[in-house]
Amino acid sequence: MKIYPHLIVCPLCSALYRYRSDGSGTTACCERCHTLLWQNRSPVLLLPLTLAALITFSLACLYPVMMISFHGARNDITLWQTAWALTQAGSLPLMTILTAFLLIMAPLMQIMLLLWLLAFAHFRRRAPGFISLMKTLHWLRPWSMADVGMLGFLIAAITLSSLLDVAPGAGGWALAASVVLMIIVNGYDLRPLWIVCPAAASAERGYA
């Protein structure tokens, strides 16, 4: 089967267009259904932004995201404690595992996989297992819900502030920074990574 990396198909109406990744910051939409086809953004900052997201999210997993005080007694809440609290509240262990996966494991895996791919792409090489990793990264994106967790912590802080003394912890600021960074990173088009070394892709599929 022949591959045409310079062509792109509209995901909605299947119209065919010529793909151009010129890094000019322009966007292209389908003329038939106006669906966004690609957004050309310079990938120069993608690797350091992803590295910064890994650092900040790691800090969010290690340090408390919220500190609650009441008459001198203080309780620090971490991301892991948030997932573990579901078990203590009588929920099924499956809910705890799913919460930990959506809130912590999925975002962390997404950042690490993207960093692995970008590190090799920086040297114009395909990472080992490139095709499988790209598929996994595409599958993980809808399940990465660190931004939803951040919104949940914000709502909880506003709700509890009328009864308790609530303050953001170091992990909370780190989580907010990582969420912002990942929103920026997810806005980049990763399709140019498939054009880094086409011969390697053919060899991985077994055609070479």
pLDDT of residue 197: 52
Which sign, positive or negative, has the C-alpha torsion 205, 195, 130, 107?
A: negative
Burial 119-140 (b: 16+ CB within 10 A, else e): ebbeeeebbeebeebbeebeeb
Q: What is the pTM of this model?
A: 0.76
Instruction: For residue 16, count other CB atoms closer than 10 A to its CB.
Output: 9
CB 71 within 8 A of CB 113: no
pLDDT of residue 1: 62
Q: How many residues does the chain have?
A: 208
Q: For residues 169-193, give the mean pLDDT.
A: 87
| End-to-end Cα spacing for the chain | 12
CB 120 within 8 A of CB 127: yes
Q: What confidence tens digit (pLDDT) does each residue in 105-159 have?
A: 999 999 999 999 999 888 888 889 888 999 999 898 888 888 888 888 888 787 8
